[in-house]
Amino acid sequence: MIRPRLRRVAIHLFAWGLAVGWLFPFVGLTMAAFRPFPEIVGGWWNFDPFTPSFTKFVAAFNAISFGFRNSLLIAVPATIIPMSVATLAGYGFARFSFPIRDYVFLTVVLLMTIPQQMVAIPIFRIMVGLKLEDTLLSLVILHSAWGLPWIVLFMRNFFSALPKEVEEAARVDGASDLKVFFKIVLPMALPALGAVAVLQFMWVWNDFFFSLLLCPATPSCMPATVALYHTIGKFEFDPGLLAAGSILVMLVPVSLYVLLQKFYIRGMIGWTVKG
């Protein structure tokens, strides 16, 4: 009777201890941002002396606030556009058949796996050719296109799992494809769309390579991740300022995740695991 109990306690202590330990690097970063650097030399877990202050956060925010504005201006349209466009296509792939449909779909899915570097050079040339280099629009377009494959796959999988009967009944009553889609299918897809929105927004916000490619040094288009790297990280190394800036930039996706965990996990699972 005692031994299973002991085992239970041990497992719980281990699991909770692990969770706390897993967060240590974040705690360390927070300490580096809140306390003067000499104080944490030898380890942030020494609390004597302990003089926290917000000054680094204020300075970091002032240094990269334009990056937050740009990140929002990029991530919001780069979420809405691919979501609308890919939902239509995902429904199409799930319900309509045409001769080479499966090959087209397979190609779309394969495009999901290639690295960003595979499009970098031509995209750069296209954007220069369109006179869009160093603009927010170039990043919106690129992220919209780049997000399409996974959203198409995700929404197709979702629509395939929906029962066809309701839609067929509506068709028999004479509703057009568009009417069926907007009046019947779309309301049912809202939870899936929520998952898509959270994931896509986060990926665009977190992106670094495309932003570095299309806007490496211009404040008017530089998103938060690049702004952090460019303005705080590159020139003079102030560990406190860099830590504070990093926390501010990651605060957006992390709080989104903590608030909308259900959507996030559902998106992640639905996207990878069939079931």
Q: Which of residues 155-184 bind another protein (CB under 8 A)?
A: 156-157, 160-161, 176-178, 181
Residue 90 tokens read as 């995902």
Q: Which of residues 134-153 bind another protein (CB under 8 A)?
A: 141-142, 144-146, 148-149, 152-153
257 touches another protein by CB under 8 A = yes
Report residue 120 CA to chain centroid gap. Answer: 20
Dist. CA 151–CA 87, nearest whole Å: 7
Dist. CA 117–CA 119, nearest whole Å: 5
- Least distance in angstroms from the C-beta of 220 to another protein: 20
- Least distance in angstroms from the C-beta of 108 to another protein: 7
Residue type, 224: A
Integer CA distances (angstroms), 235 to 54, 148, 178, 231, 238, in order: 22, 36, 54, 7, 9
Q: x/- binding map, residues 184-203, to another protein, per CB under 8 A?
A: ------------------x-
Q: Exactly one of 50, 53, 58, 122 binds another protein (CB under 8 A); which one?
A: 122
Q: Which residues of 14-47 are buried (b: 16+ CB within 10 A; e: fewer)?
A: eeeeeeeeeeeeeeebbbbbbbeeebbeeebeee
Q: Exactly one of 113, 172, 174, 236 binds another protein (CB under 8 A); which one?
A: 113
Q: Exactly one of 9, 14, 169, 259 binds another protein (CB under 8 A); which one?
A: 14
Q: Which of residues 28-67 bind another protein (CB under 8 A)?
A: 28-29, 32, 37, 40-44
